[in-house]
Amino acid sequence: MTFLLLSLSLPSLPDLPAITRTDALWWAAFLVQLLAIPGTLLPVLPGLALLPLGALLWVWAVGWAAGWPVLALALVILLLGWGADALGVVLGAARMQATRWAYLGAGVGLVVGLLGLLPALPFGGPLIGALVGPLLGASVGELLTAPTSLGPFGLLRLKRSLLVGLAVVAGMLVSRLASFLLALVGVVGFLVLSLRPLG
């Protein structure tokens, strides 16, 4: 009896419009695109590769004729991000005239750091490992193969190898910043292009 009286006294809620398939796919595409922003900073997410994935969801929702600009923008931004990553690492170490073993060491160090295999890092996990791993890898690679004109293993070689390692990490940080900004441009571009009238 109390339930019946209670239900009679509640005002009725207005009928909410049903969400369409296009609206649901727009929200899914937007959320995927939003994940690209933290993905440029966190090594566990794919980053800029999420932009074309979200764009493909939008193309699926509205068709090729209306959705291709979003996909084209996402692909251009992905290519620019890959270029920024390559230039960041290469130019950072090239300025120091690093050996190719420094590049290889940085790559191995990045994988080791991301997997959390650095024993001296009890905290930070993959985030800190993504910075410390390439630094150590490039430094060790450069230390072992530095030009013999620097003499035997000594202070001069150690200093040079640490500078090369720092240059590699600085290049990586600059490329991460560039990728972050590109992800922001991609999400804003998605909003601008997908919210315009489709007619």
Is the pLDDT at 193 greater than 50? The verdict is yes
Closest CA to 186 of 44, 62, 65, 84: 84
* Selected residue with higher pLDDT from 104 and 184: 184
To the nearest whole percent, how much of the chain has pLDDT over 70?
A: 81
pTM score over 0.85: no
pLDDT, position 180: 95
Distances (CA, A) of 15 to 12, 18, 55, 62, 187: 9, 9, 31, 26, 32
Structure tokens at 106: 């940085």
Whole-angstrom Cα Rg for the chain: 25
Is the pLDDT at 102 greater than 90? The verdict is no
To the nearest whole percent, how much of the chain has pLDDT over 90?
A: 32
The model's confidence at residue 198, banded by pLDDT at 50, 70 and 90, is low
Is the pLDDT at 40 greater than 80? The verdict is yes
DSSP for 150-191?
Answer: G-SSSHHHHHHHHHHHHHHHHHHHHHHHHHHHHHHHHHHHHH
12-21, 38-47, 74-83: least confidently modelled range: 12-21
Mean pLDDT of 116-135: 70
pLDDT, position 75: 96
Q: What is the pLDDT of residues 58-101, one digit of tens each?
A: 999 999 998 999 999 999 999 999 888 888 877 777 777 787 88
Residue 195, SS3 per DSSP = coil
The model's confidence at residue 34, banded by pLDDT at 50, 70 and 90, is very high
Mean pLDDT of 168-183: 89
